Amino acid sequence: MPQKTKHTPMMVQYFGIKEQYPDAFLFYRLGDFYEMFYDDAEKAAQILELTLTCRNKNADDPIPMCGVPHHSAQGYIDILIEKGYKVAICEQVEDPKLTKGMVKREVVQLITPGTKVDGKEVAAKENNYLTALIVEETGFGFAYTDLSTGELKASRLQDEESVLNECSSLQTKEIVLGSGIPDALTQQFETRHILVSEQIEIDQNAELSYLTADLTDSLAKKATLVLLAYLDRTQKRSLGHIQPAIAYEPSHFLKMDYYSKYNLELSRSIRTGEKQGTLLWLLDETNTAMGGRLLKQWLDRPLIQERLIQERQDRVESLLTAYFERMDIKDYLKKVYDLERLVGRVSLGSANGRDLLQLKQSLDQMPYIHAILSGIDEGQWQSLLADLDPVAEVSDLIGRAIHEEAPLSITEGQVIRDGYHERLDQYREAMHNGKQWLAELEAKEREITGIKNLKIKFNRVFGYFIEVTKSNIGALPEGRYERKQTLANAERYVTPELKEKEALLLEAEEKSQDLEYELFIGVRDQIKEQIQTLQRVAKAVASLDVLQSFASVSERYHYVRPELTKGSHRLELIEGRHPVVEKVVGAKEYVPNSVLMDPETDILLITGPNMSGKSTYMRQLALIVVMAQMGCFVPAEAAILPIFDQIFTRIGASDDLISGQSTFMVEMMEANQALQYATPDSLILFDELGRGTATYDGMALAQAIIEHIHEYVKAKTLFSTHYHEITALETTLSGLKNTHVGAVEQDGEVVFLHKMMDGAADKSYGIHVAKLAGLPDELLKRATLILASLEDNPVKTVFGEEPLLKEMLAVAETEIAPTLAEPDQLSLFGETSAQDNQVLAKLKEVNLMTMTPMEAMTVLYDLQMTLTKE
């Protein structure tokens, strides 16, 4: 930091403020600009593409400086926040006209990635979570909030792994750390691009203490206090909409680690990172932003309690059967704005007239929705109906107070309705009369002067005046008006009478604007008192919206209600479909598949050629489990499912599309997670595990892992593999069942049926494909021969580092050929013709050791062509 001593008073003030916000860009208000200095200026100039200038250009040490106009600052702030920086907004807090010397300035808000509530990238259907973490010997305290909606939750977490999992699943952009968090963990946040902020003191703010009153766990409570202290320090404004903290327990929900969620494409596509093509995309037929956000929360935390799942299912079923009512509910929901965020803005003090009108319009839908739902009358809706309160005080108040065409600004009038406030009405009357008087004056002066285009006009500099065009000036009686301003083609005049009216008019206008502002704030404050009720309404609407979305999706795609039982180990998914693939390829193209596992079967070993549908089959089950435990119906003919406690998904390295970062080591570490933490109630998907290493290695590991699951873990497991050798395990492991994907020949082409069948896949499948592809018969016979030999005499090096074909050929020639006596073989190995001799000679000649498999293949082909030319 440069020396403070020789600076101007303004720079001294700047340093004083900057010192308190070393990690933020300080937007220092100077007139109509926010200015930045020194490092802030240099960095911001680069990021925001601003021109870097200098203050005190001629001094020894000029000060680097750059700025943005205050009215367009939001765009620049958005960019900085999006890049993970903080911005401190420093305003003049005194009226410069009324102060002598330096105007007092203060930071009025610290905007950070986790506390950003408006601006372009706050997506309507997404939450922006700020998280907080504290550590003690007994574990971690964790809390999170969305400042825009006021949601606040807290928990105790056992280990770093769970902390990172929570952070990923909430997609937090910023975490506030209490003291003593291990450096290694802090680094983990940084590598995940989570901005790390610190909050060491917890100053027990009495005003906020009721928020933590319900928390019994001391760690969860401390984390919440850290979070609230940070909010208090950065926001410096009312936080009345923050809801009392709710304790939650991650183990009360279906647990999926980040990798599994990612891999199942629950809410983000692996390829594009977008919502399109994900389960969320499929399920989202919500009509409100709140519903959209709640759907995502439910997707992130599917349930594990039978009763709660059934409650949602009952509600979905009742909406599914009541078609017309559901359509009506949808129509009303479409008229409901983002209640949660509107209420948040009321509390944060940023709601304007239009926001209040939206609030009213939303509340006005409640009686209709209430009536329709009561009409369905299935008993399931009682608790929700109780919360669908139209909050009449609020909507009446808004109806009486707020002008139906209120502008965005709340300081320029036209916000408050006539008849709401007597004094305001008087001002308006005065203004109205004044305007009338002006119109009459205009008419009168026109008549007296005979100038038809004489006009009374207004501008901010000169106020009201009479304007006469140059050509008509001659017609003006001498000395009738007082000259005020001369334009190129007109003269402007005033009269003492006009000046007097003008003073009255302007005063009325200014006073009425001030009064309107005051009245508006009053209305907003009155609404603030109803925040809790409004938030309950918002929650009820959100949950109704998600349930109707489930019903709509279930109807559209013909889903069925699954039967779920806790602790049951029977899994009967009849003719299930992968919901997203089905939607993409179309229901006619999609081939349904059952997944049948009786209580004794733990492992389904899936074999089949590439592209036959193994991965799709496995994901289909996982997605159906997730949907079922969210309370939605599922794509199948019928489904009996256990309630799973956790889902683990691991994909073999070569199938891994994630930026190639998953090495075999990572794959094994992740497999280990599943083996360590899975219980008999868990679901494991291992897709081509072990592909990332040498064949025998991978095969050995795959087999050992299967045996381990079978012996110890006993979780329901789908294991796909291309190692046919492993299918033999079915004979030794009672809980393992083989299944494979079938294929048929159709018009000379192989067609994958995408149909699962019992038993292991046909090993010689590759040769069938080669045949269909039209390879020469002799070659195919030869290949069959070689295959037969390999099956009888597996030679280690065949699969090792050595060139494959060379070994295969050697084995075939020395070991099997003499033992085979098929008639067809005679032409090759029996009596000889000239061509045969030629071929044999050539065969002896070739140096297999120096050939690539491809070259060997070419030679073989040539030899064969020689023979068939006979």
Choose the binding region for Mg ion from 317-325, 458-466, 609-617, 691-699 (rule: CB under 5 A). 609-617
- How far is Cα 169 from Cα 194, in angstroms, rounded to an integer? 13
- How far is Cα 473 from Cα 467, in angstroms, rounded to an integer? 10
Closer residue to ligand ADP (CB): 178 or 613: 613
Binding of Mg ion by 615 (CB under 5 A): yes
Among 114, 390, 434, 608, binds ligand ADP (CB under 6 A): 608
By a kind-dependent CB cut-off of 5 to 8 A, residue 616 interacts, out of Mg ion, ligand ADP, none, with ligand ADP
By a kind-dependent CB cut-off of 5 to 8 A, residue 631 interacts, out of ligand ADP, Mg ion, none, with none
Choose the binding region for Mg ion from 142-150, 391-399, 607-615, 675-683 (rule: CB under 5 A). 607-615
Tokens of 216: 């019994």
Binding of ligand ADP by 754 (CB under 6 A): yes
**Cβ distance 596 to 644 under 8 Å?**
no
Among 197, 263, 287, 612, binds ligand ADP (CB under 6 A): 612
612 labelled ligand-binding? yes
Tokens of 702: 């795959």
Q: Give the residues across from 198 on adjacent strands.
A: 177
| Order of strands across the sheet that contains 638-643 | 563-566, 638-643, 571-576, 593-597
By a kind-dependent CB cut-off of 5 to 8 A, residue 438 interacts, out of Mg ion, ligand ADP, none, with none
Choose the binding region for ligand ADP from 345-353, 401-409, 583-591, 666-674 (rule: CB under 6 A). 583-591
Closer residue to ligand ADP (CB): 104 or 271: 271
Q: What is the dihedral of CA 658, 664, 670, 671, to 10 degrees?
A: 130
Considering only residues 189 to 248 of the shown chain, the ones binding Mg ion according to CB under 5 A are none
Q: 3-state DSSP call for residue 186?
A: helix
Question: Measured between alpha carbons, how far apart are the two ends of the chain, in Å?
Answer: 93
**DSSP assignment string, 659-718:** TTT--HHHHHHHHHHHHHH--TT-EEEEESTTTTS-HHHHHHHHHHHHHHIIIII--EEE
Class of residue 421 by CB neighbours under 10 A (exposed 0-12, middle 13-18, buried 19+): buried
Among 68, 133, 508, 581, binds ligand ADP (CB under 6 A): 581
Closer residue to ligand ADP (CB): 302 or 608: 608
CB 588, min distance to ligand ADP, A: 10
Considering only residues 830 to 849 of the shown chain, the ones binding ligand ADP according to CB under 6 A are none
Closer residue to ligand ADP (CB): 255 or 691: 691
**Cβ distance 629 to 564 under 8 Å?**
yes
| Residue whose beta carbon is closest to ligand ADP | 613
Give one word for 379, left, alpha or beta, with left for phi > 0 and alpha for psi -120 to 50: left
Draw the binding track, 202-231, toward ligand ADP (x: CB under 6 A; -: no contact): ------------------------------
- Beta carbons within 8 Å of 728's beta carbon, 6+ residues apart: none
Choose the binding region for Mg ion from 98-106, 236-244, 457-465, 612-620 (rule: CB under 5 A). 612-620
610 labelled ligand-binding? yes
Half-sphere exposure at residue 274, Cβ-oriented, CA atoms within 13 angstroms: 3
Among 611, 665, 773, 826, binds ligand ADP (CB under 6 A): 611
Binding of Mg ion by 607 (CB under 5 A): no
CB 616, min distance to ligand ADP, A: 3
Tokens of 132: 């907080």
Binding of ligand ADP by 590 (CB under 6 A): yes
CB 14, min distance to ligand ADP, A: 59
- How far is Cα 612 from Cα 627, in angstroms, rounded to an integer? 25
CB 745, min distance to Mg ion, A: 23
Q: 3-state DSSP call for residue 577?
A: coil
Binding of ligand ADP by 591 (CB under 6 A): yes
**DSSP assignment string, 731-798:** GT-TTEEEEEEEEEEETTEEEEEEEEEESPPPTTHHHHHHHHTT--HHHHHHHHHHHHHHHHS--HHH
Q: Catalog residues that contact ligand ADP under the rule CB under 6 A.
A: 581, 585, 589-591, 593, 608, 610-616, 754
Q: Catalog residues that contact Mg ion under the rule CB under 5 A.
A: 615
Annotated binding site for ATP: 608-615
Annotated binding site: 608-615
